[in-house]
């Protein structure tokens, strides 16, 4: 597989997870969302790699780690076209696109400074919705404000 060879350039992993087709500018954000600064696994991070689809792309490979759906779906907030690949003994055992979750809890800050979540010890909770143009929006369960993708800030 041609695709596989490009990935191998970064470094092959025997078991674990590869997140491919991350826009270069959000690679570190994805890294943070998955709390990879706190893992004991080996992590390879590549950025500004050539990509036909994106021009420049990023890739993250994590050895011996598999993610739950809700963990991985969080990265769809910043990298909706990322590809998720699971590897077992050098073979691709699962490959697919990341999917947006229905709800986003705790990880995102509410943009409204007067929201209760920014003033009391209350974890945030958003519903993922779309506006009439199909743009992804987050609806705060508390203050009922709708937030556009560009305003998403992670806790």
Partner 1 sequence: MINLKGRSLVSITDYSKEEILRILDIAEEFEDNQRQNILNGYVIGSLFFEPSTRTRLSFESAVQYLGGSIIGFASPDVSSVTKGESLKDTILTVSNYSDLIVMRNPLDGSARYASEVSPVPILNAGDGANQHPTQCLLDLYSIRKTQGTLDNIHIAMVGDLKYGRTVHSLVQALSLFGATFHFVSPDSLKMPSSVKTWVKNANLEYHQYTDFMDVMPIADILYMTRIQGERFPDPLEYEKVKNAYILENSMLENTKDNLKVLHPLPRVNELNEDVDDNPKAYYFQQAKNGVYVRQALIAAILGLK
List interacting residues with Zn ion (CB under 5 A). 110, 112, 115, 140, 142-143
Which of 112, 127, 128, 151 is the binder for partner 1 (CB under 8 A)? 112
Which DSSP helix (H) or strand (E) runs through 42? Answer: none
Which of 120, 134, 150, 153 is the binder for partner 1 (CB under 8 A)? 120
Closest alpha carbon to 115 in 97, 93, 140, 96: 140
User: Least distance (Å) from Zn ion to the CB of residue 149?
Assistant: 16
User: Least distance (Å) from partner 1 to the CB of residue 137?
Assistant: 9
Task: Say if residues 140 and 112 touch (Cβ distance below 8 Å).
Answer: yes
User: Least distance (Å) from Zn ion to the CB of residue 154?
Assistant: 15
Q: Report angle CA 17, 23, 24 to the nearest 5 degrees.
A: 95
Give the C-alpha separation, 44 to 59, whole Å: 8
Closest alpha carbon to 125 in 92, 90, 155: 155
CB-wise, 70 or 131, nearer to partner 1?
131
CB-wise, 26 or 147, nearer to partner 1?
147
CB-wise, 66 or 142, nearer to Zn ion?
142
Closest alpha carbon to 21 in 56, 72, 68: 56
- The listed partner (partner 1, Zn ion, none) that binds 116, CB under 5 to 8 Å by sort, is partner 1
Which of 50, 91, 144, 153 is the binder for partner 1 (CB under 8 A)? 144
Closest alpha carbon to 79 in 7, 152, 5: 152
Residues engaged in binding partner 1 (CB under 8 A): 112, 114-117, 119-122, 131-132, 140-146
């Amino acid at each position: 597989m041609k695709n596989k060879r490009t990935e191998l350039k970064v470094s092959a992993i025997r078991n674990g997870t590869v997140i491919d087709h991350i826009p270069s500018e959000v690679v570190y954000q994805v890294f943070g969302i998955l709390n990879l600064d706190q893992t004991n696994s080996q992590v390879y991070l590549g950025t500004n790699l050539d990509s036909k689809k994106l021009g420049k792309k990023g890739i993250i490979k994590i050895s011996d780690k598999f993610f739950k759906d809700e963990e991985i779906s969080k990265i769809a907030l910043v990298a909706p076209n990322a590809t998720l690949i699971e590897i077992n003994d050098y073979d691709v055992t699962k490959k697919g696109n990341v999917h947006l979750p229905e709800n986003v809890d705790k990880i995102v800050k509410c943009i409204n400074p007067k929201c209760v979540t920014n003033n009391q010890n209350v974890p945030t909770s958003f519903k993922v919705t779309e506006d009439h143009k199909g743009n992804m929006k987050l609806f705060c369960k508390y203050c009922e404000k709708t937030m556009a993708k560009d305003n998403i800030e992670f806790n």
